[in-house]
A and B are shown apart, each in its own frame.
Chain A
Amino acid sequence: MEWSFVIEKFALVTIVFVVTLVIAMYSTLAERKIAGFMQDRYGPDRAGIFGLLQPFCDGGKFFFKEEIIPAGAHKTLFIMGPTIAIITACISSAVIPWGQSLTIGDRVISLQVADVNVGILYMFGVIALGVYGIMLGGWASNNKFSLMGAIRAASQSISYEIAMGLSIIALLMITGSLSLKEIVADQSGFVNWNIWSQPLGFIIFMVCAFAECNRVPFDLPECETELVGGYHTEYSSMKLGLYMFSEYINMFVSSALMASLYFGGYNFPFMNDLGLSENWITILGVLAFFIKIFAFIFFFMWVRWTLPRFRYDQLMNLGWKMLIPLAIANIVLTGIITLIKDTYFS
């Protein structure tokens, strides 16, 4: 192995990591600003211009708060909870292709940390692990509200992972690859975006992504009016901050995943007709990708400040009785259409 390769990957990992954290940080600000916009008020505007320093103030506050571990809590697991949550959230962005490759001199640098050929499975595995953070934290708190939040989180994420997986299967039938890089590369050109061939699959996937991120209308694990704070009732200082942070990172990664699976990732319309050099197209592609991601993040927030939340049993009904049958129907439909297309039109 060359050293330059190691350095290149290390730099990329650092950049992705930092960008993820910064976006998660500013998502908290964006959330409050958007909430303010939707609710006829300003949102934070005291720290820096437009409140741009607010995330730093919040972070600083979290670090300086007193850390309380409840007397009856299981100390190890109590600490492990937020640790797992933040680690799984951070590593899930490894397989996302942020752009095409950059050519510098005679080096070709791929803008993907790891091109795992089962990228989607890796994603699912990591996301599934993420719920352990919530479960362990909720259980270890020795608080009934936390426990209920944890149980809700566990059952919710298990139920919705099935529908999510099924909606992806239909997509895989079209793309024929589990590697995110290939899936995105296949969507070159506006008409080739997967959203056009998989609209139902996308809707199912998006609903499940909301549920996986514990966002309204699926924020049952932490709904403050019923469970006080849900699984993080007993958490304070930066441990609470890490839970919050992992939620925003998850939202960012889900948005990136939706953008790359269904909306062409870094592809943007007319990218090959502009007559630009490869590197410029890559840079514009990264920009396009982030615009898509931000659009999804905005959508997440828009929904949060508009809709009420489900009740626990309604949530389960929606997952098991609506989304899973729909996802299976989507698979069958995709299969039939693919078969007809291959038989008669090829």
Chain B
Amino acid sequence: MSDFITKISPNKPVYEDNDPQDELITLNIGPTHPATHGVFQNVVQIDGERIVSGVSTIGYIHRAFEKIAEHRPFYQITPLTDRLNYCSAPINNMGWHMTVEKLLKIEIPKRVQYMRVIVMELARIADHIICNGILGVDTGAFSGFLYVMQEREFIYEIFEEICGARLTTNIGRIGGFERDFNDIAFAKIEEFLKRFPPVLTEFMELFDRNRIFIERTSGIASVTAEEALDYSWSGPILRATGVDYDIRVQNPYCSYEEFDFDVPVGTKGDVYDRYMVRNEEMRQSMRIIEQALSKIANEPKGVFHADVPEFYLPPKEQVYTNMEALIYHFKIVMGEVETPKAEVYHAVEGANGELGFYLVHDGGRTPYRLHFRRPSFVNYQMFAPMSAGMLLSDAILNMSSLNVIAGELDA
């Protein structure tokens, strides 16, 4: 499998059939093909069912977030990050907050960190549910997807309880959360920990040892660790190749070093391994959430943000009634607070891989430059070269197991 990169180079885009007598036909998979689950295009040349060469076209929903971010104060960039990987928006939110806190050198109370861990792990589970469920749908088995989808719905209810929104959550503020988790939220998280494992087991029983599913996924789109690293892969698909690189472990943030969890790795880097790695990660996320809940119980109650009035947006009712709050609110919104000239890079383990924020700041109201290191964008680069030599059906399974989210791909 390792010669596929050289096999189709140079990968020339062919957008239409010029010669009707040609053996190969050009097929547009996308921009609105059901298998892309978003808006991006792959133009492949096929010989019967086999793909000879492919080229990816991206940018259909490019919204210039990096440029928009240059004109927005920090707290207004959070909603932009929602729209990157919208399947796990809270991870993006938290990653962005942490980046800014790194820039501003804000110390975050432990309780807030654990709350963030809970939110991020819930989002990771939600994202993996989508990815593995859709993999099932793409192989033709629809039911498993809906079993786990109910649980994703429940996760969204928890998000709703925490922040009021479901998909594009905009959870939290720079310095913490906008409000404490209420009792219903805690109760729901605990209920989720109880009800999700049997559903996940049921879902896995449908697929794990299903002969057809194994035939369809095992050995398909197998990638070696070297190739994966050459293409700078990260996240579950890298771990499926056998590299145990997880930022939560290698470069812990948000107190992840205090948690006890395993990093599942695969061996062959094929679609089946990626599926299994994601399933196991969901179980590990449950463990992390459990530990975080017990850690929160030991922390002082009612702390939900750092005590940094010059950066943390005060609650609105205080703005109307309290002089100090009004002043800080004005200063934050108008960009009057002192911020350092610096550049920081902060990466979190997103659901698809390393989600990085590279922030260059010149001390003004808005970032001088902000770059999102989007795992989908990086991971997806291998898709077209990988597809050469594959059957069409395999390429589509490969695409869904890469979990390319169009919003994150195009930013």
Contacts and interface: CB of A to CB of B under 8 A. Distances in A.
B137 A307 contact: no
A145 B29 CA distance: 10
B210 interface: yes
A66 interface: no
A2 interface: no
Interface stretch (A45-53, A174-182, A224-232): A224-232
Contacts of B49: 148, 312-313
Contact of A306 (B141, B215, B393): B141
Contact of B212 (A39, A224, A309, A313): A309
Contact of A39 (B27, B147, B215): B147
B181 interface: no
A305 B137 CA distance: 10
A217 B212 contact: yes
Nearest to A145: B27
B393 A307 contact: no
A106 interface: no
A151 to B, nearest CB: 8
Nearest to A317: B215
B33 A228 contact: yes
Contacts of B33: 228
B142 A305 contact: yes
B364 to A, nearest CB: 48
Contacts of B137: 225
Q: Interface residues of B: mostly helix, strand, loop or mixed?
A: helix
A308 B396 contact: no
A219 B212 CA distance: 13
A38 interface: yes
B150 interface: yes
A308 B139 contact: yes
B392 A226 contact: yes
B146 A40 contact: yes
Contact of B146 (A39, A225, A308): A39
Interface in B13-72: 25, 27, 33-35, 49
Interface in B70-109: none
A314 B49 CA distance: 13
Given A40-B146, A41-B146, A312 B393 contact: yes
21 contacts: A39-B147, A145-B27, A217-B212, A223-B393, A225-B34, A225-B35, A225-B138, A225-B140, A226-B35, A226-B393, A226-B396, A305-B142, A306-B206, A307-B140, A308-B207, A308-B216, A310-B216, A311-B391, A311-B393, A314-B215, A314-B216
Q: 10 tightest CB-CB pairs across the interface, nearest first? A: A309-B140, A308-B139, A308-B141, A39-B146, A225-B138, A308-B140, A311-B393, A308-B212, A225-B35, A308-B213
